[in-house]
Structure 1
């Protein structure tokens, strides 16, 4: 049975799913036709219901709950790994009121959490996540909300931290920040247990064989620094990636 699989190009997704995509683990009775894209694009695909298994932001889950179920494995939750708000020359979110903020998409968890804490009295500019640092550097936005590798490298670009949305969430909710979920189309919900086990096997393979997985991860990442990639994977691929149910 061929399934349409959509994942993002961020290192945690490529790390988790590379063994599945390249047949290093047994995926029978499934084969996968893969789409790799920006997470906001994947959110849109989920809203349209055009993929069988898809990585999405938790922010979009309420919009697709009639089409999909959350798989236990493969998602991104955790501590100290949330989105960050950065700027150049502005040092508090209060100074930003009415200003332009580059966001990685209106359906992203990052955007939902920003609005939860700071409201909507801003001029939000949606763009691909990997364009945000440049937009802030060039003055096209007064600030930006960074996801994925951005949280590790913004200081290298002379940007300063205005808010760590993950830290705010953890203090408010006393829970890990829910960033990304792997969804399974409702039509195949009976296959959830098998797919969870396949994803777990894939994660275990990647952890034990990083040198095999590494070229695939590096092909898609926006950062090639070994330390950044390792930090990213260590933070985002954790016990909740194996099984989200302990939350």
Structure 2
């Protein structure tokens, strides 16, 4: 990318998913409509890939799973906005038939470093004294067909699968979000926006404000983001995309707030107690 002014700052390298919630939030910023915001060089990647990018220290800004924070917060800081938390939007465990017993079962999951996986393991620790059997990592889009075809006993699914699993003839065995909310009273921490600490405090604050402004612009004029959303969710019915946005873009996207930070701390503390993630110092979550 060339610049007429040699002192112009190069665009920040950012990666987020092609899912409707991310394209909705970042549309205005990615298209240069946020006044004073740094330019963005966008890479689209599913969250299992961005988690790996973060662990390798690639790119300046990333949308990652909250579950990966204990491995990356030495290099990145958690932005207080732009991510996905909420209520009533947790991962689901799906089976071919109702009321299945997962003790010793083979369960397909999209990643072992995801909030979904941590919530699943915390749920299993509470309700399956015998524990699950084998965990198989599959690409997200392969999980429901694998359950339907009997290749695995159950599948852990996220995102729009909440609205489409019945198309595969599957049954919802449990809602990880319901379990989390009933035991903690807190929202579910799903996806986080992180940025490299080396960018400096001033730039990091600018990034946070740019994300907030981009979100507010999308809320003020939802139609403006629709072409970007639909261009990257071509396999998704437009009504499902709208449901997806309504579910995952909310007040916590604008500001984590006390409940948001409390939810992240609770998730990582409980997961560390189960040996699922390294322990995290509380101050590691603090923004600049």
Q: How does 1:139-178 map to 2 (within 5 A)?
A: 139-178=150-189
CA contact (8 A) 1:90 1:96 kept: no
Tell me which structure has the larger Cα radius of gyration.
2
Residue 136 of structure 2 corresponds to residue 130 of structure 1: no
Deviation of the 1:97 alpha carbon: 2.1
Partner of 1:224: 236
Q: Say whether the 8 Å CA contact 1:20–1:27 is kept in structure 2.
A: no
CA–CA distance in 1 between the matches of 2:33 and 2:150?
45
**Stretches of structure 1 lacking an aligned partner (at least 5 in a row):** none
Separation (CA, whole Å) in 1 of partners of 2:207 and 2:122: 33
Q: Which runs of 4+ in 1 moved over 6 A?
A: none
Q: In the alignment, is residue 53 of structure 1 matched against residue 61 of structure 2? A: yes
Q: Within 2, Cα distance between the matches of 1:46 and 1:147?
A: 21
Q: Number of aligned residue pairs: give it.
A: 244
Checking the alignment, whether the CA contact within 8 Å between 1:149 and 1:223 is kept in structure 2 is: no
Out of 50, 72, 80, the residue aligned to residue 88 of structure 2 is: 80
Q: Which has the higher strand share?
A: 1
| Cα contact 1:12–1:236 (8 A) shared by 2 | yes
CA contact (8 A) 1:83 1:166 kept: yes
TM-score, normalised relative to structure 1: 0.93
In the TM superposition, 1:94-243 aligns within 5 A as: 95-119=101-125, 121-190=132-201, 191-221=203-233, 223-243=235-255
Quickly say closer, same or farther: Cα 1:186–1:139, change in 2 above 3 A: same
Post-superposition offset of 1:200:
1.0
1:26 matched to 2:35? The reply is yes
- TM-score for both structures, normalised by structure 2: 0.80
Distance 1:127 1:46 in 2: 20
Shift of 1:224: 2.6
Match of 2:51 among 34, 38, 43: 43
1:100-146, Cα deviation, whole Å (9 max, x unpaired): 21111111100011111204532111122222112222222221111
Contact 2:106 2:132 in 1 (8 A): no
- Structure 1 stretch displaced more, 121-130 or 219-228: 219-228
Distance 1:27 1:105 in 2: 36
1:9 aligns with 2:18: yes
CA distance in 2, matches of 1:16, 1:130: 23
